[in-house]
């Protein structure tokens, strides 16, 4: 019993140290790993033989080894483990209500293109995935009641590629859909604005170039 007591004290210390260590990476992971270790340690108190105690310790060691291997892999690939979880991004859409507050001569203004938050899965190209989300996701009923509007999705309009250049200019290449991007100057202006403002939310994007150059023409 004395051996079990000191073993439990040891693992409680491991919990505290390991939670402190993982908190630098991800608080969610730290809490869940600690809960796992705590559950395993609690089982030790009910163990009646030394073999059961050894089995419990072995199980905890396997879990710790798996987590350590995962963290090592993420760092070796140049990824911060904290950003492997879903991320919150902004999608910009035209808001008719805000636009109506402007003088008539100033309406259909880029200032009326406002953000809506979305949570998307982690990816290696967060900018491109965010633009794809802008093109593909519909507005919710609540957002529509707040007078957000969008011309997306269009089943034929797609982002073909993205290229962030060394001068921080983001090149976005789309396919051409006859009529979709050339229907009135005001509409074309808003289509361009929602894409540009969505892209510029990222600190490393200072300018946006939409290709082909003839895409958004009235």
145-185: per-residue pLDDT in tens? 999 999 888 889 999 999 999 999 999 999 999 888 877 78
User: What percent of the chain lies above the pLDDT cut of 90?
Assistant: 44
Burial of 184 (0-12, 13-18, 19+ CB in 10 A): exposed
Question: Could you tell me if 65 and 122 are in contact, meaning their C-beta atoms sit under 8 angstroms apart?
Answer: no
Q: Residue 25: its pLDDT value, please?
A: 47
* DSSP character at residue 84: G
Say how far apart CA 179 and CA 160 lie, in whole Å.
Answer: 18
Residue 45 above 50 pLDDT?
Answer: no
Burial of 64 (0-12, 13-18, 19+ CB in 10 A): middle
Q: Residue 183: its pLDDT value, please?
A: 73
Q: Residue 44: its pLDDT value, please?
A: 45
Higher pLDDT, 15 or 162: 162
Burial of 150 (0-12, 13-18, 19+ CB in 10 A): buried
Q: Residue 86: its pLDDT value, please?
A: 84
What six digits make up the tokens of 20?
A: 């402190």
Q: How many CB atoms lie within 10 A of CB 93?
A: 24
Which pLDDT tens digit goes with each residue over 102-145? 999 899 999 999 999 999 888 789 999 999 999 987 899 999 99
Say how far apart CA 52 and CA 200 lie, in whole Å.
Answer: 58
This prediction has a pTM of 0.61
Name the residue among 44, 198, 40 with its Cα closest to residue 131. 198
């Amino acid at each position: 019993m004395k051996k079990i007591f000191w073993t439990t004290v040891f693992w409680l210390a491991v919990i505290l140290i390991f939670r402190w260590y993982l908190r630098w990476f991800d608080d969610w992971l730290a809490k869940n790993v600690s809960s796992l270790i705590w559950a395993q340690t609690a089982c030790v108190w009910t163990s009646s033989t030394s073999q059961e105690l050894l089995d419990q310790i072995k199980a905890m060691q396997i879990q710790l080894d798996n987590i350590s291997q995962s963290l090592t892999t993420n760092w070796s690939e140049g990824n911060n483990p904290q950003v492997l979880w879903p991320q919150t991004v902004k999608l910009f859409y035209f808001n008719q209500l805000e636009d109506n507050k402007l003088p008539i001569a100033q309406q259909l203004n880029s200032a009326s293109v406002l953000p809506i938050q979305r949570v998307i899965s982690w990816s290696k190209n967060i900018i491109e995935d965010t633009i794809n989300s802008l093109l593909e996701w519909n507005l919710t009923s609540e957002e529509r009641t707040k007078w957000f509007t969008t011309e997306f999705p269009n089943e034929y309009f797609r982002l073909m590629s993205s290229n962030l250049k060394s001068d921080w200019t983001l090149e976005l290449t789309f396919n051409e859909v006859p009529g979709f991007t050339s229907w009135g100057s005001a509409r074309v202006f808003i289509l361009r604005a929602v894409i540009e403002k969505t892209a510029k939310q990222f600190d490393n994007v200072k300018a946006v170039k939409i290709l082909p150059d003839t895409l958004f023409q009235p």
